[in-house]
Amino acid sequence: MYKDASIAEVAQAMQRSAIAFKSFSQLSRAARANLMRSIAKEIEALGEELIQTTMRETHLPEARLKGERARTLFQMNSYADACEKGDWLEARITTAIPDRVPPRPDIRKMLVPMGPVVVFGSSNFPYAYSTAGGDTASALAAGCTVVVKAHPAHPETSELVAGAIQKALHAFGLSEDIFIHLHGASHAVGEALVKNEHAKAVGFTGSYSGGMALFNWANQRKEPIPVFAEMGSVNPVFLFNEKLSTDTDGIAKMYADSITLGVGQFCTNPGIIVGLEGEALQSFVQSLGEKMAGIQVGSMLHVGITEAYQQKSVFVQPIAAPGSIRTFFSCGLLQRYC
């Protein structure tokens, strides 16, 4: 078990991150890129220990995790390459024209690092959207320091990856405060991080409710800050009668596979079906039920997700809409996967 950071510890971490930002933001792009490549190597060096730890914490299969780890390493190296190239800086030079009336001054501008970035690890992508995921990689590439709040669904995994990042920092003789790792299952920790005066941006991947909470906290500040959030949603699927009539079973299989992918925990999981009332739709509903019944039961990522699903999920009967259009929610079909 990992203890939540106290509010005082959050404040100290953000202050340390702000101090480290002053020097890290001045580090050359080549030096930042080399650091990031070193981070990728250190994560890869964790080897089987990382995979086995994450399997135990998340119930995700080995093949899926190895693929996601490769993606994470690719992200870190890709951002390192982009960092070194520097075309994203949008540098502009407007030379002076002193003889013009009025005279035009010499103007030079470019994008600069914002400051400490708070990153919230996701539950369903323990590598690619978590401790050393895309948000962390892009922040480091831009010259921003990072404070990560580990996701409580995989704290040991997060600790291992954080250790790899710290090892890379140490090898380059850089401050450990460039990357700070905290635990916090309590919402109070997240709120304290976002509302801290030193935080300049937030990166988040997760639920709509969680993302909107961060967004609201960020906008309640005296100095509002951007929240870069990828949030889950209830995605609609529209069934066209002509297509449905010719491939009822095929569409039912695709839909069943989609809503149960990752035990129904992907953010792209569709939740609403809209179709024309009729024989084709009735056949689809029956076929979908049969396909769902044949899918193997799996374990969810985290007990908290299971409990939340059981509390919030109810079976919703089809809704008869005007014009013989029928809409129904498919989330109830996942009840057996809790």
Q: Which residues are catalytic?
A: 230, 267
Q: What are phi and psi of 30, to 5 degrees?
A: -65, -40
Is residue 242 within 8 A of residue 209, CB to CB? The reply is no
Is residue 143 within 8 A of residue 32, CB to CB? The reply is yes
Report CA torsion sign: 26, 204, 153, 262.
Answer: negative
3-state secondary structure of 333: helix
The answer for 91, left when phi > 0, alpha when psi is -120 to 50, beta otherwise, is beta
3-state secondary structure of 307: helix
Task: Report in angstroms the alpha-carbon separations of 87 from 34, 84, 109, 228.
Answer: 18, 9, 13, 21
Q: What are phi and psi of 92, to 5 degrees?
A: -130, 135
Is residue 59 within 8 A of residue 210, CB to CB? The reply is no
The answer for 16, left when phi > 0, alpha when psi is -120 to 50, beta otherwise, is alpha
Collect all residues with Cβ–Cβ distance below 8 Å to 263 and sequence separation of at least 6: 298, 299, 300, 301, 337
Q: How many other C-beta atoms are found inside a 10 Å radius of the C-beta of residue 289?
A: 13
Which is it for strands 227-231 and 201-206: parallel, antiparallel or unpaired? parallel
